[in-house]
A and B are shown apart, each in its own frame.
Chain A
């Protein structure tokens, strides 16, 4: 290929890169606007950010049913799989901006660069979902990480926030290093960074199994860090507790989903037996490399540890941090089965997780406004003082537990169904661990409900607290779909089922 064709190819790719270009443009506009706007008007930047995200959303919708194609010399891919994630990322960022507008934690601070960073984070997540080359995977993960560090420390006067950012950065640098080393080993084994090429070469040659295993393990450090899987989860509780709550909410759904996008794409494209995918509903791992069992162990450890430690928490944000670790474990159950149902179950779970987890954090933010506290003890009797957020919290927590009629139940149902469908013994083992964990999780979610509904507030404060209509609207935006998806989820699941296998289209 001479240079002119490469240039032509890249220029031709640009028309498939419109959403990302829009986001880049918005970032630039935001930086300039922040300079020009007087500081007391910096809130206007949120409007620009929202408009930009909306424009990107329209552009992403234009990619619906565009099929799959790689762009920029196979660096990125545009496919239905990435389409799903892009919608999810946009939804996360838009919601985070709405949360930030109302948040008291951020009031009175210059927020121009804050919204710029959220848009930059979105761009990074977009690239993660479409990366098909180890280099773009690395760069996009780093982009998301670095932006996250800054966002986590945004309340720089708050000690915990700075501490959180530092921990985040150190763990991030460490796991990035490990991942980079793993990538270099893969390059050494195959001579390529392209994940489709890697698949072909690993299947045609038989690489040294131990080296390959170590390489994959090291790369898992990077992916595991992003989805906060055990044993790469240590940053999560501190960061979730210390960061401004809207950012905690965003980090718990956006970058986590992006991590799953990369994980699903890399493992299912590069590390499977060739010829077993495509038309079939299920496929097999590369012989000699039993990564499904490895991920199953990580999944079991992640959900068990997350749930057990969550029991002991008294700070709701921290409790939700551990719960979010546990949920990464649940979502991993769909990754280990290597089937269409498994992948769609994971995507479905990430969607309902978006709703219910953001919802839970939204209630935390509302309560922060009302009570200036994140402690379970201070939630006592809240149901009688502010019934709307309390009832909404009930819905979100039951959904997180996985009880019908909520989306969380359907999500877990499909995850377990995919395990039982594949039906190897370790799948059953994982399913049993999963159901036991669901029961454990009920205990700590119910602690919050118990405080809110069953106990009366200490002292004289029993007066009603008014919740602003703004929050009521945001709550209903999350509560209604959580409940609807528990009763009627046909369209969403069918959509995911038809598109989840698109990761193989370019193989």
Chain B
């Protein structure tokens, strides 16, 4: 098991699909239970990884490396380090919980869970792959199930007041086109890397990411600084669409709002992180000089600022609770960008912690939106009022999630947000002080919209329409409590997460810092 744990954790869901397919489609519960068992096993493996991961080394662990297509030096190369472990944990946890959040899906159950498990494999693969080609395959494989999950099981197609067609099918294709555009750019960048990087052992070209990270292996076009900048931009756009970074964010409100609850959770909880994960795994270590190119570093910080403030302002303007949560994601992912752009150890650790904490926090938010939508069949914030009287437990859980979202001290995101802001503020490479100060405006706005929403929905007079609304049930609590517990524990005692990531990330910061900026490198 030691040697194949990553293959197992990645392909367990596919095995689940093989078990689901022969089940007659009337046996809906059998299908659901199979999906739960396989994602549960995956979660157990992830916990095992968490316990056995060596926190003291920067080396790649649990690596598996086999030839796949030797004539093109494509390898099946899996391995994880401190950057991937929290993402693997997050993916496994959210996938497992989302099976339960999807229990109520009643149409095409078999197809739904098969697609969901395929999506799970794709996500896990992205975080474990260390061969660029393999990474790309997993990256793209996710798109297909996502397209169907949003299109078929999302909200039906409808015409808005302005005559525009909206709904699941529209959101699905919009998501698909945006991300496909990003990934084909990444494909080109990947090919340029392949043909200009030599494997130090064999002398041939290679897709091995570790070889690509070693600047000594770069040659040909990769010695031309302007080309490196160009590749960096191509990669950045590819990843930025996924994050999403302003101005590539417009697919997100559509996709998140139209998707079924569990898929919104996966989208916000895991898929968004792939963008920033890609930057940290690929762009930063492979093109450190381009990252340190000051226009790009400041550009990234400014985009982070725009995400934070613009996202928060948009969230504040929303009437639809789910849309509010969607925009809050844009805002929170901006903090990740800002934390990364300073290239400090503090900011980088903060950014990755924020990726994890936003994953758990936003998952809670989307699950909670699902809970109220299942009962009231709408999500208009102003349509509620005084719900705390009728649903006290629900209100309590929502308050945890909201306070986590606004970064209340004692809850996990406070620490990661503080780290990110302080890291960017204290950057010695770039002067990000002004940008950081303006960005903190986002915190105020976030507190504003979360508290205002809480007030409008839960306090005041109970809307008589909802006097009979049932309280949150056991299954829903089962999906929420683990996340709430993690949020509170990491808020009080962040060491488990921090210890997991810091060695790898500090190493990344050192590697990037050791490279001169492009102009100082003396590259032609």
Q: Considering the chains assembled together, what is the distance between the CA atoms of A281 and B194 in angstroms?
A: 17
Q: Does A438 contact B (CB under 8 A)?
A: yes
Contact B140 A403 (CB under 8 A): yes
Contact A497 B71 (CB under 8 A): yes
Contact B187 A435 (CB under 8 A): yes
* Interface of A (DSSP majority class): helix
Contact A416 B188 (CB under 8 A): yes
Write out the residue numbers on chain A whose beta carbons fall within 8 Å of the beta carbon of B169.
450, 454-455
Contact A494 B144 (CB under 8 A): no
**A348, chain B: closest CB distance, angstroms:** 12
Q: Considering the chains assembled together, what is the distance between the CA atoms of A435 and B151 in angstroms?
A: 24
Write out the residue numbers on chain A whose beta carbons fall within 8 Å of the beta carbon of B195.
417, 420-421, 423
Q: Considering the chains assembled together, what is the distance between the CA atoms of A493 and B73 in angstroms?
A: 13
Contact A454 B172 (CB under 8 A): yes
Contact A453 B177 (CB under 8 A): no
Write out the residue numbers on chain B whose beta carbons fall within 8 Å of the beta carbon of A494.
71
Q: Considering the chains assembled together, what is the distance between the CA atoms of A13 and B148 in angstroms?
A: 57
Q: Considering the chains assembled together, what is the distance between the CA atoms of A62 and B501 in angstroms?
A: 61
Known: A416-B187, A489-B69, A490-B69. A405 touches B137 (CB 8 A): yes
Cβ-defined partner of B188 (8 Å) among A420, A442, A446: A420
Contact A446 B176 (CB under 8 A): yes
Q: Considering the chains assembled together, what is the distance between the CA atoms of A494 and B185 in angstroms?
A: 27
Residue of B nearest to A419 (CB): B191
Cβ-defined partner of A439 (8 Å) among B148, B151, B152, B181: B181
Complex interface bits, B184-226 against A, C-beta within 8 A gives 1, otherwise 0: 1101100110110000000000000000000000000100000
**A303, chain B: closest CB distance, angstroms:** 13
Contact A431 B71 (CB under 8 A): no
Contact A493 B172 (CB under 8 A): no
Write out the residue numbers on chain A whose beta carbons fall within 8 Å of the beta carbon of B181.
436, 439
Known: A421-B195, A490-B70. A443 touches B173 (CB 8 A): yes
Contact A398 B144 (CB under 8 A): yes
Known: A443-B177, A454-B172, A490-B71. A404 touches B184 (CB 8 A): no
Q: Does A330 contact B (CB under 8 A)?
A: no
Write out the residue numbers on chain B whose beta carbons fall within 8 Å of the beta carbon of A401.
180
**B71, chain A: closest CB distance, angstroms:** 5
Q: Does A409 contact B (CB under 8 A)?
A: yes
Q: Does B489 contact A (CB under 8 A)?
A: no
Q: Does A58 contact B (CB under 8 A)?
A: no
Q: Considering the chains assembled together, what is the distance between the CA atoms of A295 and B176 in angstroms?
A: 31
Q: Does A291 contact B (CB under 8 A)?
A: no
Q: Does B386 contact A (CB under 8 A)?
A: no
**B259, chain A: closest CB distance, angstroms:** 13
Contact B151 A420 (CB under 8 A): no
**B152, chain A: closest CB distance, angstroms:** 6
Q: Does B143 contact A (CB under 8 A)?
A: yes
Contact A417 B151 (CB under 8 A): no
Q: How many residues of A contact B (CB 8 A)?
A: 31
Q: Considering the chains assembled together, what is the distance between the CA atoms of A201 and B143 in angstroms?
A: 53
Write out the residue numbers on chain B whose beta carbons fall within 8 Å of the beta carbon of A465.
none
Q: Does A413 contact B (CB under 8 A)?
A: yes
Residue of A nearest to B220 (CB): A423
Contact A442 B194 (CB under 8 A): no
Q: Does A432 contact B (CB under 8 A)?
A: yes
Contact A442 B157 (CB under 8 A): no
Contact A439 B191 (CB under 8 A): no
Write out the residue numbers on chain B whose beta carbons fall within 8 Å of the beta carbon of A404.
136-137, 140-141
Q: Considering the chains assembled together, what is the distance between the CA atoms of A409 and B71 in angstroms?
A: 17
Q: Does B112 contact A (CB under 8 A)?
A: no
Interface residues of A in 216-254 (CB under 8 A from B): none
Residue of A nearest to B168 (CB): A454
Known: A435-B185, A439-B184. A416 touches B191 (CB 8 A): yes
Contact A439 B180 (CB under 8 A): yes
Cβ-defined partner of B180 (8 Å) among A421, A431, A442: A442
Most buried by B among A384, A420, A423: A420
Q: Does B38 contact A (CB under 8 A)?
A: no
Q: Considering the chains assembled together, what is the distance between the CA atoms of A343 and B187 in angstroms?
A: 20
Write out the residue numbers on chain A whose beta carbons fall within 8 Å of the beta carbon of B298.
none
Residue of B nearest to A395 (CB): B144
Cβ-defined partner of A420 (8 Å) among B69, B72, B192: B192
Known: A404-B141, A405-B141, A455-B157. A417 touches B69 (CB 8 A): no
Contact B187 A413 (CB under 8 A): yes
**A439, chain B: closest CB distance, angstroms:** 5
Q: Considering the chains assembled together, what is the distance between the CA atoms of A409 and B143 in angstroms?
A: 14
Q: Considering the chains assembled together, what is the distance between the CA atoms of A401 and B195 in angstroms?
A: 24
Residue of A nearest to B185 (CB): A435
Which chain B residues have a beta carbon within 8 Å of chain A's beta carbons?
A: 68-72, 108, 136-137, 140-141, 143-144, 147-148, 151-152, 157, 168-169, 172-173, 176-177, 180-181, 184-185, 187-188, 191-192, 194-195, 221
Known: A435-B184, A438-B184. A409 touches B177 (CB 8 A): no
The 8 closest A-B pairs by CB, nearest first: A435-B184, A420-B191, A454-B169, A454-B151, A404-B137, A404-B140, A439-B181, A490-B69
Residue of B nearest to A451 (CB): B169
Known: A403-B144, A454-B157, A493-B69. A417 touches B191 (CB 8 A): yes
Q: Considering the chains assembled together, what is the distance between the CA atoms of A432 and B80 in angstroms?
A: 33
Q: Considering the chains assembled together, what is the distance between the CA atoms of A101 and B311 in angstroms?
A: 60
**B81, chain A: closest CB distance, angstroms:** 25
Q: What are 29 A-B interface contacts by the 8 Å CB criterion?
A: A401-B180, A403-B140, A404-B136, A404-B137, A405-B141, A409-B140, A416-B187, A416-B191, A417-B191, A417-B194, A420-B191, A420-B194, A421-B191, A423-B195, A436-B181, A436-B184, A439-B177, A439-B181, A442-B176, A443-B177, A450-B172, A453-B152, A454-B152, A454-B157, A454-B168, A490-B69, A490-B70, A493-B69, A493-B72
Q: Considering the chains assembled together, what is the distance between the CA atoms of A414 and B285 in angstroms?
A: 26
Q: Considering the chains assembled together, what is the distance between the CA atoms of A493 and B68 in angstroms?
A: 13
**B11, chain A: closest CB distance, angstroms:** 12
Write out the residue numbers on chain A whose beta carbons fall within 8 Å of the beta carbon of B188.
416, 420, 431-432, 435
Contact A423 B141 (CB under 8 A): no
Q: Considering the chains assembled together, what is the distance between the CA atoms of A255 and B69 in angstroms?
A: 31
Residue of B nearest to A450 (CB): B169
Contact B151 A453 (CB under 8 A): yes
Complex interface bits, A398-428 against B, C-beta within 8 A gives 1, otherwise 0: 1001011100010001001100110100000
**A154, chain B: closest CB distance, angstroms:** 37
Write out the residue numbers on chain A whose beta carbons fall within 8 Å of the beta carbon of B176.
442, 446
**A405, chain B: closest CB distance, angstroms:** 6
Complex interface bits, A268-300 against B, C-beta within 8 A gives 1, otherwise 0: 000000000000000000000000000000000
**A436, chain B: closest CB distance, angstroms:** 8
Write out the residue numbers on chain B whose beta carbons fall within 8 Å of the beta carbon of A405.
137, 141
Most buried by A among B147, B148, B221: B147
Write out the residue numbers on chain B whose beta carbons fall within 8 Å of the beta carbon of A442.
176-177, 180
Q: Considering the chains assembled together, what is the distance between the CA atoms of A427 and B120 in angstroms?
A: 37
Write out the residue numbers on chain A whose beta carbons fall within 8 Å of the beta carbon of B140.
403-404, 409
Cβ-defined partner of A450 (8 Å) among B141, B143, B151: B151
Q: Considering the chains assembled together, what is the distance between the CA atoms of A455 and B148 in angstroms?
A: 12
Contact A446 B147 (CB under 8 A): yes
Write out the residue numbers on chain A whose beta carbons fall within 8 Å of the beta carbon of B194.
417, 420
Contact A450 B173 (CB under 8 A): yes
Write out the residue numbers on chain A whose beta carbons fall within 8 Å of the beta carbon of B168.
454
Write out the residue numbers on chain B whose beta carbons fall within 8 Å of the beta carbon of A489.
69
Residue of B nearest to A456 (CB): B156
Q: Considering the chains assembled together, what is the distance between the CA atoms of A423 and B221 in angstroms?
A: 9
Most buried by A among B144, B181, B184: B184
Q: Considering the chains assembled together, what is the distance between the CA atoms of A446 and B172 in angstroms?
A: 10
Write out the residue numbers on chain A whose beta carbons fall within 8 Å of the beta carbon of B141.
404-405
Write out the residue numbers on chain B whose beta carbons fall within 8 Å of the beta carbon of A436.
181, 184
**B232, chain A: closest CB distance, angstroms:** 16
Write out the residue numbers on chain B whose beta carbons fall within 8 Å of the beta carbon of A384.
108
A-B contact sample (7 more), CB < 8 A, given A420-B192, A442-B177, A450-B151: A421-B191, A421-B195, A436-B181, A439-B180, A453-B152, A454-B151, A497-B71
**A438, chain B: closest CB distance, angstroms:** 6
Write out the residue numbers on chain A whose beta carbons fall within 8 Å of the beta carbon of B177.
439, 442-443
